[in-house]
Amino acid sequence: MMRRPGGVPNSFRPMDCPCIRRCASACPHRLEIVVMKITRVEVFVLGDPPGLPGEGAARVTALPFVRVHTDEGLSGVAEVFSVPPGVARAALDGPDSFFGRQLVGEDPMPPERLRVRLYDSLLHGNRRGWSIICLGAAEVALWDIFGQALGRPVWQLLGTAERSPHQTWSEAQRQEAVPYCTIVSDHMEPDRLVREHLERIERLRAEGFRAFKVEPMRSSPQTVVELARQARRLLGPEPVLCVDVGYLWNDVGMALDVAERLAELGVYFLETPFPVDSLEAYARLAARSPVRIAAGEHTVTRWEFLDLMDRGGCLVVQPYMATCGGLSEAKRIVELAQPRGVLVCPGNWSTHVQSAATVQLVATSPISPIFEYVPAQVYDSPLRRALQEIGLPVVRGGIRFPGSPGIGVRLPEHLIQGFRVG
């Protein structure tokens, strides 16, 4: 970072000085190079207020966030999705935490340098699971700082939009990210599950959303197909429709039968038909299914994604920005997927803080036509609604590639205090 003497950031370039070539050492325009330092890493936990009436399948109980502070007054934030708060604190909170002690005092730029350092610190320990999710969240926060420091959205620093005009058929595809709305029901009884899904789809379709995913969890094959059939009838032929059964089966034959029936309804992908470690089952189904098979919401690092693609045959992989190991790792997953003909449709059953980070990746990816999005307006979660209000806006079913610095979301202190847990 360049500063004028006196400490005020300035975009003045040394070569702008008319006398730099002949009197640099005494030049009144002389700039000093100031290295930013990380001063503090903190974890705070947010959740919906206790005692809300009803069931609320999408409520947030205790979601950790990490915030990285610098001596320049800039801070970056990220979600630590699907990690217990105590684990997130042990990994990231304060100078005595495992990753925190390695970050404090370091220059936060460029983020990938610190990501490599943190990953290398795990070489004799656990290079998967919660450790990688915490590492990835820290790296997303570092990218947030990097973008703010340079006055650029993160996607412009990851790499400019690479959607070739020869491989797109509308200008919108080159300018926006398209969220697919994940729909869940508060109830598992078949008739009620179908009815709640359809009510939520109808409302969101009226608001202009163009892509949807239904989740008939713990349902019979008949309910899975019936929900998809009624959703397609309600949506019409154009909107994207996906189905997620949440690791429901162990029977390849049953999964294939359902996939063939879903193909007749124009289903875009079938997500997580088997437990995530059943790669042989994924491979057998993917080899015969007329519908793309998708997985990856809990998959960490490019190495596990290679297994999903090469051993499991998945044609859609779904990295979460923190879970996979950070934005740098997500970019590598795109680079590995593209020559394999695999789509990267990032997942996010979380809030709009992670959505903002997800859009940064999607804006650079030629193989990410849609990404997962949780529409707070159809769920009973005050925290989701509050974060959606400050998140990137959806207009006519798309999110324009953002121009604000960093990941594009700032958490006001009153929101943090209003939803803080513990």
CATH number at residue 259: 3.20.20.120
Q: Give the tens place of pLDDT for each residue, 320-346.
A: 999 999 999 999 999 999 999 999 999
- Give the domain-ending residue among 154, 171, 194: 154
Residue at 418 is within a domain: no
pLDDT one-digit tens code per residue, 109-129: 999 899 989 888 888 777 788
Give the residue numbers spanning the domain of 81: 38-154
Does residue 48 sit in the same domain as residue 14?
no
Q: Is residue 415 part of a domain?
A: no
**Per the confidence metrics, is the pTM higher than 0.95?**
no
**CATH number, position 71:** 3.30.390.10
The answer on 141 and 161 residing in a single domain is no
Q: How far apart are CA 306 and CA 286, in angstroms?
A: 15
pLDDT of residue 389 exceeding 60, the answer is yes
Both tokens of 193, joined, read 């599950």
Q: Is residue 422 part of a domain?
A: no
> Does one domain contain both 50 and 83?
yes
Number of domains in the chain: 3
For 235-276, what is each residue's pLDDT tens digit? Answer: 999 999 999 999 999 999 999 999 999 999 999 999 999 999
Residues 47, 150 within the same domain: yes
- Same domain (yes/no): 173, 136: no
When the pLDDT of each residue in the chain is averaged and rounded to a whole number, the result is 90
Q: Is the confidence at residue 201, as pLDDT, over 80? A: yes
Q: With beta carbons less than 8 A apart as the criterion, state whether 91 and 78 touch.
A: no
242: its two tokens: 């996906």
Are 370 and 242 part of one and the same domain?
yes
Which tokens hold the place of 119? 């990953």
Residue 175 lies in a domain: yes
Buried b (16+ CB within 10 A) or exposed e, 74-89: bbbbbbbbbbebebbb
In a shared domain, residues 81 and 115: yes
Whether residue 263 lies inside any domain: the answer is yes
Instruction: Look at residue 223 and tell me whether its pLDDT is greater than 80.
Output: yes
Instruction: Check whether residue 318 and residue 218 sit in a common domain.
Output: yes
Backbone angles phi, psi at 137, to 5 degrees: -65, -40
- 220 lies in some domain: yes
Tell me how far apart the alpha carbons of residues 83 and 67 are, in angstroms, rounded to a whole number. 15
Which of the listed residues 154, 184, 204 is the one where a domain comes to its end?
A: 154
**Which pair of tokens denotes residue 273?**
């038909």
Q: Is residue 29 part of a domain?
A: yes
Residues 259 and 290 in one domain: yes
pLDDT of residue 56: 85
Asked if residue 164 and residue 146 are part of one domain, the reply reads no
289 and 388 belong to one structural domain: yes
Residue 150 shares a structural domain with residue 163: no
**pLDDT on residue 175:** 86
At 30, the pLDDT band (50, 70, 90 cuts) reads low
